[in-house]
Amino acid sequence: MKLFECVPNISEGRDVAIVDACAAAIVAAGAVLAHRTSDPDHHRSVLTYFGDATTAVNAALALARITATRIDLRSHAGEHPRIGALDVLPFVPLGTATMDDAVAVARDAAARIWQETGVPSYFYGAAATREEHRQLPGVRSGGFEGLATRAQRGVRPDVGDIEFHPGAGAIAIGARPLLIAFNVVLGTGEVAVARKIARVIRESTGGLRSLRALGIALGSERSQVSCNITDADALPLDRLFDLVQRLAQRFGVAVIESELIGLLPRQAAARVVARRFGMREGSIAPPP
């Protein structure tokens, strides 16, 4: 049996009832819901589930039905970029499953979601049909509000029609390797500081390989460096934290806390422990 991880991001982080309904829909479809987290400032929730190809697609479809009917982006405002009510839907191959298998699952999910909910999709990652959509920021360029303009310029969804479901926007559906989502919270409401740090560390502006980063406001006294590590082998988590902390100190700002969004690969956790305590990574035994 080929297994997949799916990590849907939905544009709802404040209404617990809606997030509960999304989680329940995933479980009712037969998938294993492993984790969920919500952020009211981002106005976003991230859920992590596992299943075989059929179950993974069925759970995605069940989730899309909920988000299309209960989330309307025309009245949505949050700090995190988004193009859809069900904003991101990545499929990650596990075990014997290949990236080609994950691409097939992603495309099956996009077709079924369009047929049954009328919500269109753009493909990204290994499933991308345009080179500029290999990376997720390329798909989300212009945000929800810019979808119609992009479509008029010829950047139409890979599946479906952008005008059909104006409140739900579009979904970025992809196939990708394991990813680590990690945020560092700064003790300043000056989001410019978080944005300057993000600009220094992210790969696209000359920083660390495999790192995407944004500076996000979290109210009057805090801000956040929001990070995605796309290759855990290329960038140990503790190295990233130490770098953000050193850069924050240059601005006279303290790091309040850090947070992991979703799950962390066992190897990545072992690498942090080994580096911190001077151990060989292979000497850290996995749990029974």
Tokens for 19, please give them: 């997030």
d(Cα 258, Cα 254) in Å, to the nearest integer?
12
d(Cα 114, Cα 94) in Å, to the nearest integer?
26
Is 133 among the residues known to form the active site?
A: no
Catalytic entry in 35, 80, 133, 165:
80
In angstroms, the Cα distances linking 39 to 14, 15, 19, 130, 234 are: 7, 10, 11, 31, 28
What does the DSSP 8-state code read for residue 135?
S
Q: 115: Cβ–Cβ under 8 A, 6 or more apart, which residues?
A: none
Q: What are phi and psi of 195, to 5 degrees?
A: -70, -35
Q: Taking each helix axis from N to C terminus, what angle separates 99-117 and 53-70, rounded to the nearest 10 degrees?
A: 40
Residues tagged active-site: 80
